[in-house]
Structure 1
């Protein structure tokens, strides 16, 4: 537990700074372009390269490449360096071609991901932004492979800190756009030059991020030599394992495509209630998972893969149990706070410039619904890594496919049942239900694989955490009621008071109650924080 906590703390620190700068980035973005037509056009264009990378690379990295690189490091005479160089060469060449094709196909891609008329100005703006943003595919992919190689060497700092450089570059670009462009939130008046500043500036951030990761590789002794002897790249083995992962990515991206189509349709009916509030709420929802969950999973997967390779299944179960409880110790109270404080979180962040208080409150309403999904989503991601550590990329496809199919069914159902102004909230609720049931199914399958995951012990620990977190939720509710009764509706200052009283004091109360209740994971967090403060 202590080793995982230390590794996770290093990554969590970098990820926290990354997310804080990401907050500033989204604040400036919302201020500059708003949450209506221009905001939706940008967010649609921005989402496409990440969708393509999910299909081609990101899922394969965690499920296939990391275990294969670990095996190459353990068994190849050169410690796996030649194998790593071949992977980086292959990823660079393929993604340069993909980026070029994607730029040419930008109109088709925007058409696939939205419900906008091809002749509309919003569609034209989204296409132009996509053409400026899609070249980042090559740079982001190279950075992702470099980050994966660093992770297998237990160097977790750079992959978590590199996005900070990206955010700082993009913040500078967005500030320049806001200061230089009049009515920057109006799709009808924005020029191609102004769109170039917005789109190419976004791509510049990814270039800087990739550069940081490549330089970090050099610092750990990795020297990149282009290797085109791909016969030794074990592509057959990778394809055999990766085909299922790509299948899973295809299924999830079809679900995402449905999400963007439904949310863009809702935005057509009620401006400010479309893709942008969904995207911004989802980013906030991902923050706790990104800071804690990704950090723990990144530290866990290489060790779990080594344990499976050596046949140490007891260590697999121990790594999983420690990871679940460490994540839950933080996410249990955070999920309750999101459900209570959603609008109080989003008003200070987004209610500026082109984004009204009402628009920011709606983003917070979507975030409240997402709070239901926080723990199930984190569990689902942890459970997939159990299968990946065994080299099993097939089972996650079926589990993920079932969850995505259920999510799609529920999204369509809620979209048709709810008024357009509540449609995006319905999409978030569908997501929560789908991942709750998906996590339950994945748990049963993973438990059979390793002869039990310690469900009873985990269940008891979770119950204690929820009991310790209940006073936190009560404090947050009282803070919301008291401030609104005293000062009226949500505004910037009122929201900060609610966050300080409900969120800050609530989390301190949870840590105190958890410490007094002798919850080991809470005590570990308290001890780590106290140690840092004493230094």
Structure 2
């Protein structure tokens, strides 16, 4: 299967999850708005979700995958199964201990780590503690599911792990629909959503567990033992967890800071949901596929293939991400109005969230490039360097967020996240080049400025079109008119961007055909003739 087709498999499943996520957030915005219960739920959910990204996805997709792939190559499927059982025994035990400890100390954690700003509102604080307590077991389920997803990725079976998160959104949509039908109050809706989150964790774990069994690996429970393989995994996993979850570290810190202002936590979460669509579809797809492919190429001594994989991944991400970033920058308001503005989500909420979303658009290329650069370190079992850069990025984020939040509110936190993202991306790329781990690709270097030009022209066209289409995009127009107008505007913008990109040489049909036909084992290098 070609690299782009693998990206499309994961990206397509992720797109499905993000679309359902839009529906979920739209219903949640109508039910809770940006009020106290919305803040409480979003802060409570961010806590286990942050741990999931740090110690599940970040650690195992970065440290477990290369080691599991190595076991398959050296010891065969039996050796890989033994290794997975060793890891499962240790992981399951640690998760049980962690979950019990967190459940018992939840009031202290919410008061000091999650949302200290909620202490001024006792009801909001109590609701946050209650919701976080209900949802925290979701971490254990998703950590085990992430490990099994890493196994599936190493076996080149990407779909099950990518499609499983859709069920979180399906379950929460069902909860919100039932709450609307029953006319539940905000507090009841929040607690129903929390139970839905926990239930979705078990459903997602079941999906990947079945997929692993169908792939021919049956995992049995072994008494936890710190074998040599497990110790090696832990050495790699700790810095990998910090590095892979850098965005989540920043979000948790920013939630802590934002809790000091009413509605700020929810506004950031709603904006985050929209920009996560291109980030998830492109960035997560690239990161998921690139790591095992790059690790395989480097183990086989295929340096040219490794360089080609990295360059094509960056080319693919920028080709799709630059127009998305430009669109978020200039058309955030009509997007937010269409998706969220109804029920308890007011026009004032639209203005705040759209301002934050426009700022996030400036950081989207950086957030996606980070996911394309990090596999270049992890595939070489270097998790320390990205961890250091992640620490620098966090420091930049915290400093700016604390400085800007008192004056700019949620927008100040968004600016801090964007700056931190670009700092991290520049440090990662510069180090890869300095170490000679990034092969120079002249066609790619000449295409990038042309893609930037195409995105800029598209953004200018959208800006003038929005002024011309003021009424059909306004809150006064019927929902169907707004949706149709926005869809037509997006379609026209795509025609402008892709037309200029192909006309200027930023992309060409030959490049697309070669990417689609490329078979991971022996890729055809890009040559200057692509120009």
Partner residue of 1:365? 355
Partner residue of 1:102? 102
Which runs of structure 2 are paired with 1:488-503 in the superposition (5 Å)? 492=479, 495-503=482-490
Which runs of structure 2 are paired with 1:310-459 in the superposition (5 Å)? 310-416=300-406, 418=407, 422-454=408-440, 457-459=443-445
CA–CA distance in structure 1, aligned partners of residues 286 and 92 of structure 2: 28
Is the counterpart of residue 298 in structure 1 residue 281 in structure 2?
A: no
The structure 2 residue matched to 1:287, chosen from 272, 277, 287, is 277
Is the counterpart of residue 239 in structure 1 residue 234 in structure 2?
A: yes
Change (3 A) 1:244 1:103: same
Change (3 A) 1:197 1:179: same
Partner residue of 2:221? 226
CA–CA distance in structure 2, aligned partners of residues 72 and 528 of structure 1: 29
Partner residue of 2:146? 144
CA–CA distance in structure 2, aligned partners of residues 251 and 516 of structure 1: 38
Deviation at residue 48 of structure 1 after TM alignment: 0.6
CA–CA distance in structure 2, aligned partners of residues 282 and 79 of structure 1: 41
8 Å contact 1:66–1:149 — kept in the other structure? Answer: yes
Partner residue of 2:155? 153
Q: Secondary structure at the match of 2:432?
A: helix
Deviation at residue 465 of structure 1 after TM alignment: 0.9
Partner residue of 1:308? 298
CA–CA distance in structure 1, aligned partners of residues 379 and 54 of structure 2: 20
CA–CA distance in structure 1, aligned partners of residues 177 and 473 of structure 2: 32
Is the counterpart of residue 15 in structure 1 residue 14 in structure 2?
A: yes
Moved more, 3-12 or 99-108: 99-108
CA–CA distance in structure 2, aligned partners of residues 14 and 215 of structure 1: 18
Residue by residue over 1:158-178, the C-alpha shift from the partner in whole angstroms, topping out at 9 and shown as x without a partner, is 111111222111110122223
Q: Which runs of 5+ in 1 are unaligned?
A: 185-189, 530-535
CA–CA distance in structure 2, aligned partners of residues 341 and 522 of structure 1: 29
CA–CA distance in structure 2, aligned partners of residues 485 and 247 of structure 1: 46
CA–CA distance in structure 1, aligned partners of residues 499 and 244 of structure 2: 41
User: RMSD of the alignment, in Å?
Assistant: 2.5
Deviation at residue 19 of structure 1 after TM alignment: 0.8
CA–CA distance in structure 1, aligned partners of residues 364 and 289 of structure 2: 20
CA–CA distance in structure 2, aligned partners of residues 495 and 527 of structure 1: 39
Partner residue of 2:209? 214
Moved more, 247-256 or 355-364: 247-256
Partner residue of 1:533? none
The alignment of Structure 1 onto Structure 2 pairs a total of residues equal to 512
Partner residue of 2:452? 466
Deviation at residue 245 of structure 1 after TM alignment: 2.6
CA–CA distance in structure 2, aligned partners of residues 467 and 496 of structure 1: 28
8 Å contact 1:35–1:355 — kept in the other structure? Answer: yes
CA–CA distance in structure 2, aligned partners of residues 434 and 386 of structure 1: 20
Deviation at residue 257 of structure 1 after TM alignment: 3.5
8 Å contact 2:334–2:474 — kept in the other structure? Answer: no
Change (3 A) 1:520 1:79: farther
Structure with more contact order per residue of length (Cα contacts < 8 Å, sep ≥ 6): 2
Residue by residue over 1:82-122, the C-alpha shift from the partner in whole angstroms, topping out at 9 and shown as x without a partner, is 11222233323322332222222221222111111176100
- Per the normalisation by structure 2, the TM-score is 0.90
CA–CA distance in structure 2, aligned partners of residues 250 and 293 of structure 1: 13
Deviation at residue 29 of structure 1 after TM alignment: 1.3
8 Å contact 2:326–2:361 — kept in the other structure? Answer: yes
Deviation at residue 400 of structure 1 after TM alignment: 1.0
Partner residue of 1:86? 86
8 Å contact 2:25–2:340 — kept in the other structure? Answer: yes
8 Å contact 2:242–2:390 — kept in the other structure? Answer: no
8 Å contact 2:447–2:507 — kept in the other structure? Answer: no
Deviation at residue 195 of structure 1 after TM alignment: 4.9
CA–CA distance in structure 2, aligned partners of residues 61 and 487 of structure 1: 44
Change (3 A) 1:211 1:118: farther
CA–CA distance in structure 1, aligned partners of residues 64 and 73 of structure 2: 14
CA–CA distance in structure 2, aligned partners of residues 307 and 199 of structure 1: 43
Q: Secondary structure at the match of 1:116?
A: helix
Q: Which runs of 5+ in 2 are unaligned?
A: 517-531
- Per the normalisation by structure 1, the TM-score is 0.89
8 Å contact 1:339–1:368 — kept in the other structure? Answer: yes
Partner residue of 1:505? 492
Q: Secondary structure at the match of 1:355?
A: coil
Residue by residue over 1:213-249, the C-alpha shift from the partner in whole angstroms, topping out at 9 and shown as x without a partner, is 1111122112121122635461221222223234547
Partner residue of 2:520? none
Residue by residue over 1:390-426, the C-alpha shift from the partner in whole angstroms, topping out at 9 and shown as x without a partner, is 100100011111111111111112123x2xxx41111
Deviation at residue 447 of structure 1 after TM alignment: 1.1
Deviation at residue 346 of structure 1 after TM alignment: 1.1
8 Å contact 2:474–2:482 — kept in the other structure? Answer: no
Moved more, 385-394 or 168-177: 168-177
Change (3 A) 1:484 1:436: same
8 Å contact 2:61–2:147 — kept in the other structure? Answer: no
8 Å contact 1:476–1:498 — kept in the other structure? Answer: no
CA–CA distance in structure 2, aligned partners of residues 297 and 522 of structure 1: 25
